A and B are shown apart, each in its own frame.
Chain A
Amino acid sequence: MFIQYSMTPDPVTIGADMPVIEAAAMLRKKRFRHLPVVDGDGRLLAMLTDRDLRSACPSTVLSLEEREQVLEKVKATSISEIMSTDFVALQPTSTLDDALLLFQTHNIGALPVIDDQGRVIGIFSLNDMMTAYRRLFGLGEKGSVLVAIEDADDQAALGSLVNALERKNVFFTRLVRVPGQGREPDIVYLRVNTMNIRAVHRIVEDAGFTIHVPSIQP
Chain B
Amino acid sequence: MTINKRITVITDPKYNLHDTGGGEHPEIPERLQIINGRLTSGHLAGMVDFASPRPATRSELMAFHPESWLFRFEEAVLSGRTYIDHPDNQIGFESFEIATLSAGAGLCGIDLIEQDGLQGERIIFCSTRPPGHHAEPTRPFGFCFLNNCVLAARYWQQRYGRRRLCVLDFDAHHGNGIQTAFEEDGEVLYISIHEHPSFSYPGTGWAEEHGLGPGKGKILNIPLAPGSNDAGVLAALDGPVRSLLEQFRPEAFVIAAGFDAHLLDDMSGLAYSSELYGKIGARLAVWSKEFCCGRLVSILEGGYHLPVLADCVENYLSGLLLTKP
Contact = CB atoms under 8 A, between A and B. Distances in A.
Interface of A: 140-146, 169, 171, 193-199, 201-202, 213-214, 216-218
Contact of A213 (B224, B226, B232): B226
Interface string B120-156: 0000000000000010000001110000000000000
The 6 closest A-B pairs by CB, nearest first: A195-B142, A218-B228, A145-B201, A195-B201, A144-B203, A198-B266
29 contacts: A140-B203, A140-B204, A141-B203, A142-B176, A142-B202, A142-B203, A142-B204, A143-B86, A143-B202, A145-B199, A145-B200, A145-B202, A171-B86, A194-B88, A194-B201, A195-B142, A195-B143, A195-B202, A196-B25, A196-B88, A197-B200, A198-B266, A198-B304, A201-B266, A213-B227, A216-B225, A218-B224, A218-B225, A218-B229
Contact of B199 (A146, A193, A202, A218): A146
B278 interface: no
B197 interface: yes
A218 B227 contact: yes
Interface of B: 24-26, 86-88, 134, 141-143, 173, 176, 197-204, 206, 224-229, 231-232, 266-269, 304
Nearest to A143: B202
B281 to A, nearest CB: 22
Contact of B201 (A140, A197, A216): A197
Contacts of B24: 196, 198-199, 202
Nearest to A191: B203
Nearest to B144: A195
B124 to A, nearest CB: 26
Contacts of B269: 213
A144 B202 CA distance: 5
Contacts of A193: 86
Contacts of B228: 218
Given A142-B141, A199-B24, 11 more contacts: A140-B203, A143-B201, A145-B199, A145-B200, A145-B201, A194-B86, A194-B88, A195-B143, A198-B24, A198-B266, A214-B199
Nearest to B202: A143
A213 B87 CA distance: 26
Candidate in A141, A145, A146 with the most chain B CB atoms within 10 angstroms: A145
Contacts of B25: 196
A62 B319 CA distance: 67
B204 A197 contact: no
Contacts of B225: 214, 216, 218
Contact of A197 (B134, B206, B231, B267): B267
A194 B198 CA distance: 14
B232 to A, nearest CB: 5
A201 B199 CA distance: 13
Contacts of A146: 198-199, 203
Contacts of B304: 198
A197 B304 CA distance: 12
Given A144-B202, A193-B86, A195-B134, A217 B143 contact: no
Contacts of B226: 213-214, 216
